[in-house]
Structure 1
């Protein structure tokens, strides 16, 4: 690997870290960069998952104020996300991806619309996570499991799915939902990454510059969400998610 390819991966990591921590669209920048430096699709996918663990590190550090008050919910959600990541990682290594990938554009497109669709206001204190009924928590847990399986299996825009889910489930604000999304996605990616490290062809010389860039970029993302107006960010995420859905739908043709 030459210095130009290292620089490309580092820059893609910074871009992916920023967009991933804000919108859950890290793979839009990082996965194509891995293909551009010559990795085959499966190796690019598993290498991408390992490198994106850096996103969790930077974004969680940057999201500490928004995570206050979300501990009880995350203690339930993180093990579910980790289990989903493990299932998804095993599925990727043992089954063909074509059928599942055909469903991806529909999932991403639905999530993009859900992010910008108005939801009823819930009066909560700043930084406070709203109370959820047992039924809502069970449904939320099932949805988190399915998204985490998808995240471990394919991964592109899994953060968009999680962010849309948390916003529709009544998380207090975009910043709070984004912080919780980063923790759960980190758990899912982390477990899948461990499986890939043990069982899959991880390209370590690509992981290092990509992961360093991801840590730096993802550290800035929560700051952007904290200080920028929520409505424009939602629309940017929604439009970007819809564009990704359209691109993935037409890629096979």
Structure 2
């Protein structure tokens, strides 16, 4: 890489780390940059996933106050994410990219719809049930988080959008606390996938280093900004980012 290309990857890492902390879709910043400077798609995807792991950890640490009291929820949903991430990573290493990419825009659109209607749906579900659902969301949320983990392990762009949409519908909690859970779940998926990729895939380690440092910086900045956003503003950011994600994927 030239110095300009290295700077571009580093800057993309900062942007990705920041946007992942707030909502997700940071891969849609880094992945196109890696393709533009000549890395093969699978190598770019694998290297990007490994590089963003420190940023995911940084974002989770940045939201540590919102994680208080959510240990049981994190254990249950984290298990689903790990199982899904393992499945997705194996799919990436064994299946052609087109087999999964076709449904990605549909998944993101569904997530955006969930984010928009989440307050109304949560109220309706609570009225029909007569009481709040389990703190971990029940078996349906476990299955949905597992499916999202598969997607995250395979590609991961807008994984955070999907998670926030699902968590918002199935759990009756403040959106900032749900965002903190999202950061941990995404970190688990990326971390497990990264471990597999390090041993089984072609990795561009110079890319990993640049994105890792940049995403750590971005994760801290994003966490500080994200927790200050009102719920409606945060939902608006999610919708905008998710819409951009769909457009970019359809144009790819």
Same fold by TM-score greater than 0.5: yes
User: Hey, what does 1:198 align to over in structure 2?
Assistant: 199
User: Hey, what does 1:81 align to over in structure 2?
Assistant: 81
| Contact 2:15/2:26 (<8 A) preserved | yes
For residues 175-201 of structure 1, the C-alpha deviation after alignment (integer angstroms, 9 at most, x for no partner) is 111100010111011111111000001
Q: So what's the TM-score if we normalise by structure 2?
A: 0.92
For residues 115-146 of structure 1, the C-alpha deviation after alignment (integer angstroms, 9 at most, x for no partner) is 12242467xxxxxxx96339941111100100
The gaps in structure 2 that reach 5 residues or longer are: 124-130
Is 1:28 aligned to residue 28 of structure 2? yes
User: Hey, what does 1:138 align to over in structure 2?
Assistant: 139
Distance 1:16 1:135 in 2: 28
| Contact 2:85/2:193 (<8 A) preserved | yes
SS of residue in 1 equivalent to 2:156: coil
- RMSD of Structure 2 on Structure 1 (CA): 1.8
Cα displacement (A) at 1:241: 0.4
| Contact 2:137/2:171 (<8 A) preserved | no
Distance 1:135 1:32 in 2: 35
1:15-164 mapped onto 2 (5 Å cutoff)? 15-120=15-120, 132-133=133-134, 136-164=137-165
| Contact 2:105/2:249 (<8 A) preserved | yes
Distance 1:210 1:155 in 2: 15
Distance 1:234 1:29 in 2: 20
User: Hey, what does 2:223 align to over in structure 1?
Assistant: 222
| Contact 2:9/2:211 (<8 A) preserved | yes
Cα displacement (A) at 1:246: 2.6
User: Hey, what does 1:127 align to over in structure 2?
Assistant: none
SS of residue in 1 equivalent to 2:203: coil
Cα displacement (A) at 1:250: 3.4
| Contact 1:66/1:179 (<8 A) preserved | yes
Cα displacement (A) at 1:170: 2.3
User: Hey, what does 1:125 align to over in structure 2?
Assistant: none
Distance 2:52 2:172 in 1: 24
| More off after superposition, 92-101 vs 221-230 | 221-230
Cα displacement (A) at 1:23: 1.1
Distance 2:249 2:161 in 1: 15
User: Hey, what does 2:126 align to over in structure 1?
Assistant: none
Distance 2:108 2:245 in 1: 8
| Contact 2:118/2:169 (<8 A) preserved | no
| More off after superposition, 78-87 vs 238-247 | 238-247
The gaps in structure 1 that reach 5 residues or longer are: 123-129
Runs of 4+ in 1 over 2 A off after TM superposition: 130-136
User: Hey, what does 2:13 align to over in structure 1?
Assistant: 13
Change (3 A) 1:134 1:181: closer
| Equivalent pairs, count | 244
